[in-house]
Structure 1
Amino acid sequence: MLNETLKPLAELPDVSFIDNDTIDAMMQRLVSNYERRYQEITGKEVTLGAADPMRIALYAVALDLYQTEQYVDRAGKQDLLKYSYGEFLDGLAANRSVSRKEATAARTTVRFTASETKDYALAIPAGIRVTNGDGIYFTTVEYAEIAPGDEYVDVEAVCTAEGTEGNNFLPGQVDILVDPLPYIQSVANVTTSEGGAARESDESLAERVYLAPSGYSTAGPTDAYVYWAKTFNAGIGSVVPVSPEPGKVDVYVLMADGSMPGEELLQELQDYLTEERIRPMTDLVTVKKPEAVEFSIDLTYYINRSDQAKAVTIQENVKKAVAEYTTWQTSEIGRDINPDELVQRIKAAGAKRVELTAPTFAVVGETQVAKCTASAADNGGLEDD
C-alpha cells in the first residue's frame, strides 16, 4: 500500500511526454502517410493490404520508432518525483541535497564479565567478536576495560553484516566469545540489538525528497521532524510529532516493520534531533515510542463450491491477506483498528464470506499504535454459491 505521505503525488494527473501515443496508432500513421505520399509523388492510388510486404516493413519500422518514444517518455518522467526510480531518483534527490541511505548494521551493548576482580584493568580491545552461535557476529567498536575492582564493563558492539539480520536479539542471546580474552568469564548482550536497515528503498527515498523542503526551516514544522527522523535511520517507519504544550515537542516513532524502537535507538534519535542545525532553539524535544493498543484476529472464512478446484490456492491467498492486513494495521501510528479492511482483503483473496469474531473497530489515538497479540483464520469449508 502506498505511503500516506506520497498519496498527493499518486493523485496527480498522469503525464505523457509522447501525448499517449500507442503502437497501433503509430503503425496506422506510417501506413496512411505512405499511401498519401505515394499518391502525391506518382499520381497513383495505392492501398497496402494486410499481407503487403511494404505494410509489414512499415510495421517493423513502427516497432523501433515506438521503442524510441518509450525512451523519450521515460527520460521525461525521471525528472518527476511521481515516476522517478533507481539511479534517476538518486539524481533527482541530489537536487534537494538528499541522498539515499545505505544499509546500516545493527548495534547492541555487550557486557564482558571477569572471572574475578583484579587490582589492575582488564583490556577489551576494539574488534573483539561475539556471536549468537548461529552465524551472526558483533564486534566491539572501541577499546574498553574492566576497571580495577570492577566485575564487568559494557561495550557497544556492531553487527558485522549490514541490514536487518542483526536486529531483535534479546538480552542474553548474543553470548559466545569468539576471540578469547584472558580472565573473561562470560559475555552477553544487555540490550536488544536494533538499528540495522537495508539500503533505502525508492519509496522511502521519494518520501524524504518530498518532505525535504520542510527540513530547510528552523521554525519546527511537523514535516521537518518527520524528515529528520527518517533521515537518521532508514529502518524508521511511522513518525508522529506532537506538541503537548508550547515549546515542547514529543516525537513518536515506530520501525518500518511495525516493531517498537528500543531505548538505545530512541536516545540516539533524540540526540540527533536536538542538534542545533535541526532543532529550533525554543523546542524541548523528546523521542518516545507509541502506546500499544492490543487486538486479536479470530475469524472463519468460507469458499464457494464452484471454486473447489482452486481451494488450496485461495487458502494460501487468505493466509497472505491476513498477514498483509496485520502489517498494514500495525505499521502506522494513529491508524484505527479497522475490521472492514481485513474482510475486504480476505474476500479479494477469493473467499466467499467471512465470519469475523475479532477484531472490532477501535479508535487508536494520535500517539498510539495497534498491536496484534494473536491471529487465527480458520477455513470453514465449501459452501454453495
Structure 2
Amino acid sequence: MKMPAIDLGKLPPPDAIEALDVDTLFAERIAELRAALIEENGSDEPWNAVLRADPLVKDQTVNSYRELLLRNRINEAVRAVLLATAMEGDLEQLSADFNLNRLEGESDDAFRARRQLAPEGYAVAGPEDAYRFHALSVDATIKQVSAVKGEDNRVTVVLLSREGNGSVNAGIVAKVHEALSPLSLRPMTDALYTRSADITETAVSIRIEIGPGPDAASVEAKALAGLQAYVASRHAVGVTLNYDGLIGAARKADPVERVTVLAPEADVDPGVMGAVFVTDIAVEVVRV
C-alpha cells in the first residue's frame, strides 16, 4: 500500500524552535537583577528605576541583544537539521545519508522533494514513487513524474518539465528511459515506456465586479496573484484546471461582488498523461 507523502509545509513548528522577543529578554534580565540586588542588600535601593542612561541598564540592554542573537543562532541550527527547513549545504548534508547529490541547477525545493522520495530508491522501480525518484534524479529540469500502470504489465513513465509549457524534449526522455531500463532497477515483468506529458494550453480570462469603496488596482493585483498561484499548482500530470478553482483563486481579492470566468468555459482535464499549461491570465475589474 502506498503511503501518502507528508506535506512538509503543513508540519507544526518544532518545539525546539522558540519565539524570540528582545523586550521579553530585557524584562527578564532586569527582574533577575532586581532580585539579585534585593537578595544581597535586602533592597534594590537606591537603584529602583529602569533608566536607559543607567550603566546597569545599558549593560542589560546590550546583553539582551547578545542573548537574542545567540538564541536565534540556536534556532537556525535546529532548522539546519530538519528536512522541512534545511537549505543549501545543510540540505546536501542531510541528503548524504542516502548517497544523494544535488543535480546541477537543482533548487532547494526540488532537491528537498527528491530527498523525501529517497527511501523509495531502495526499492526496485516497481512502486510509483520509486519510478518517480529514479526519474527525477536524471535531470534537474524534470518537474514531475507520474508512473501509469496499464494492461500487460505496461508502465508508462510520464515526464513534465520545469521549462516552457512543461513539454520534455526527446533527449531527456531518452535519458530517463535509459536510467530506468536496467533490470537491477525495475521488475523484469514491467514493460517500460517513457514519454513527455501531453500539454493542453489554455488562456484564463476573469471578470470581477466590485462595489463602491475597494481600489480597483488593488483588487486586480490580489486576484492576479491568487490566480497565478492556483494555475501554478495545477501545472502537474493528470491534474485538472477546475472552473470553480479559478473562481476561488480570484476571490482572494475580497471584497468583490461577483467573479465570472470568461475562459476557459469549463474544467480543463488533460487526462492521466497530460498537464494543463496556462498561457495567459487576464483580469478585468468592473465597478457596479
Residue equivalent to 1:22: 21
Task: Provide Cα deviations, 1:238-259, integer angstroms capped at 9, x if missing partner.
Answer: 2111221364321111112442
Match of 1:344 among 227, 230, 248: 248
| Equivalent position amino acid for 1:92 in 2 | L
For the structure 1 residues 18 and 287, does the alpha-carbon distance in structure 2 shift closer, same or farther, using more than 3 Å as the test?
closer
More helix by share: 2
Residue equivalent to 1:168: none
Equivalent-residue separation in structure 2 for 1:361 and 1:86 (angstroms): 39
Deviation at 1:96, TM superposition (A): 1.6
Residue equivalent to 2:284: 379
Q: What TM-score results when the alignment is normalised by the length of structure 1? A: 0.65
The question of 1:260 aligning with 2:164 is answered no
Equivalent-residue separation in structure 1 for 2:23 and 2:232 (angstroms): 42
Higher alpha-carbon Rg: 1
Residue equivalent to 2:196: 289
Task: Provide Cα deviations, 1:134-180, integer angstroms capped at 9, x if missing partner.
Answer: xxxxxxxxxxxxxxxxxxxxxxxxxxxxxxxxxxxxxxxxxxxxxxx
Residue equivalent to 2:261: 356
Higher relative contact order, structure no. (Cα contacts within 8 Å, ≥ 6 residues apart): 2
Which structure 1 residue ranges, 5 or more long, are not aligned? 103-198
| Equivalent position amino acid for 1:217 in 2 | A
Equivalent-residue separation in structure 1 for 2:90 and 2:205 (angstroms): 45
The question of 1:12 aligning with 2:14 is answered no
Equivalent-residue separation in structure 1 for 2:111 and 2:281 (angstroms): 36
Residue equivalent to 2:91: 89
The question of 1:209 aligning with 2:115 is answered yes
More strand by share: 1
Which structure 2 residue ranges, 5 or more long, are not aligned? none
Secondary structure of 1:251's partner? strand
Deviation at 1:212, TM superposition (A): 0.6
Deviation at 1:226, TM superposition (A): 0.7
Secondary structure of 1:357's partner? strand
Deviation at 1:92, TM superposition (A): 1.3
Equivalent-residue separation in structure 1 for 2:130 and 2:196 (angstroms): 18
Deviation at 1:224, TM superposition (A): 1.1
> How many residue pairs are counted as aligned between the two chains?
279
Equivalent-residue separation in structure 2 for 1:275 and 1:50 (angstroms): 75
Residue equivalent to 1:150: none
Equivalent-residue separation in structure 1 for 2:153 and 2:260 (angstroms): 49
Q: What TM-score results when the alignment is normalised by the length of structure 2? A: 0.84
Equivalent-residue separation in structure 1 for 2:12 and 2:98 (angstroms): 23
Residue equivalent to 1:250: 156
For the structure 1 residues 376 and 247, does the alpha-carbon distance in structure 2 shift closer, same or farther, using more than 3 Å as the test?
closer
Deviation at 1:8, TM superposition (A): 2.4
- Percent pairwise identity: 22
For the structure 1 residues 30 and 256, does the alpha-carbon distance in structure 2 shift closer, same or farther, using more than 3 Å as the test?
same
| Equivalent position amino acid for 2:176 in 1 | L
The answer to whether the Cα contact below 8 Å between 2:37 and 2:43 also exists between their aligned partners in 1 is yes
Deviation at 1:32, TM superposition (A): 1.2
The answer to whether the Cα contact below 8 Å between 1:299 and 1:378 also exists between their aligned partners in 2 is yes
CA RMSD of aligned residues (A): 2.7
For the structure 1 residues 312 and 79, does the alpha-carbon distance in structure 2 shift closer, same or farther, using more than 3 Å as the test?
same
